[in-house]
Amino acid sequence: MLLPFEYHFPDKVVSYKQLDKLLATGYFRTGNYLMRTRVLFFNNEILNTLHVRFHLSDYLFSKSLQKLLHKNKQRFTYTIQPFSITIEKENLYRKHRTRFKGHVSPSLSGYMFDNYHSNIFNTYEINVFDGEQLVAFSFFDVGHKSIASILGIFNQEYEKFSLGIYTMLLEIEYAKNLQFKYYYPGYVAYEPSQFNYKLRLAKKIQFFDWFTKRWLSFENRNKKIKVYDFFTEKMNIAATWLEKFKIEYKPLFYPFFYMGGVYPKSDCVKSILHYLVTDFEIEGLYYIIEFHPEKMQLMLTGATIHKYSYEDEIDYTDVFDEKEWKRVLLYLHPSIIISNEFELYAGLLFLQDLFRQYLLPPPIPNNRFQNPNLFRS
């Protein structure tokens, strides 16, 4: 099984040792839950992600980082304390989020709590001041032997001081002084990205390998298969089958693949990349080919669009564009495993006949997007 996203929803406060265990198995906190992501859709780009960490017992700041730490300590003051969300931090967050494209939580409280009412992690903050003005802050979670950096925000007028890196250096210094074992800065990408500044923090970095479930030296990352590339290679096989029978198709990225992890009991489509067979006859019904991340096989299936409660009807002219789907997809069963071009062609004929006879209009799949912890106090 190789789900692009996996989620863990704690049903109570996460203890120090529980956090250590979750971090050690590749999870990273986002909102009031944890996730393991192998692929990320960020700033309209598809990134192959790696969760990283480094040991603190033998950690030494490089000369350049030591210089930055010393220089900024001379220039600014800082505090370390249990975290809180204030109007001042909210305003700084709203200005900072404009640096990114795509979906970013509109508020700091939404980012940290994900619409819940309380924090279930042991979270601390670092605040950096220029005089009395808050110019940067960061949040980090504290475990028994580990700390995890969650978020760093800074005033863009102070960009030349590298305050995002500075708050992480203060987190590391705090962790070393308390003799913590690991520092988890989050994830980076194989590709050049805005996340890869974290690689400046240490020389000996480890990454979590999804295939062996072990932490390996970052130097060995290129010896491992990139997850998105792995899916693409499998899909290329299906492309040759489609082309053999001259079946028209459109490759589409599916940015809502994470919905299958958030709502595992629903019929939300889980794969990253689809081939949409463009010769369909029923409005609102789509034939897609995917490499299924749980079954680890190429599959042909029907899909339809999730209708939101506020919609009177769906605008089917705005479901996808040239590159990606713009709506959440739901599976229509049955799904057919395909292992060669003949199974693909026969499966397509079977689904077309089945849906034409029995599924006018298409049925309503299980679209219960019910988080079991939604009403947790």
pLDDT in tens, 137-189: 999 999 999 999 999 999 999 999 999 999 999 999 999 999 999 999 988 87
Q: What is the pLDDT of residue 98?
A: 74
Residues of the chain with pLDDT > 70, as a percent, come to: 86
* Domains observed in the chain: 5-223 (3.40.630.30), 227-358 (no CATH)
Dihedral of CA 337/340/344/350: which sign?
Answer: negative
Q: What is the b/e burial string over 77-89, where b = at least 16 CB atoms within 10 angstroms of the residue's CB?
A: ebeeeebebeeeb
Distance CA 277, CA 287 (A): 5
Q: What is the pLDDT of residue 206?
A: 93
Please compute the mean of the pLDDT values over residues 214-227 and round it to a whole number: 78
30 band by pLDDT with thresholds 50, 70 and 90? confident
Dihedral of CA 285/289/293/298: which sign?
Answer: positive
Q: What is the pLDDT of residue 359?
A: 57
Q: For 315-335, what is each residue's pLDDT tens digit?
A: 777 888 888 888 889 988 888
Q: What is the pLDDT of residue 3?
A: 61
Query: Is pLDDT at 368 greater than 80 in this prediction?
Result: no
- Stated as kind and residue range, the H or E segment containing 165 is helix 163-177
Distance CA 181, CA 57 (A): 6
Q: What is the pLDDT of residue 332?
A: 86
30-34, 256-260, 271-275: range with highest mean pLDDT: 271-275
Q: What is the pLDDT of residue 273?
A: 87
Q: For 62-118, what is each residue's pLDDT tens digit?
A: 999 999 999 999 999 999 999 999 999 999 998 887 776 555 677 888 888 865 667
280 band by pLDDT with thresholds 50, 70 and 90? low
* The model scores a pTM over 0.85: no
Q: How high is the mean pLDDT of the chain?
A: 84
Higher pLDDT: 326 or 23? It is 23
Distance CA 254, CA 224 (A): 24
376 band by pLDDT with thresholds 50, 70 and 90? very low
Q: What is the pLDDT of residue 70?
A: 96
Q: What is the pLDDT of residue 369?
A: 45
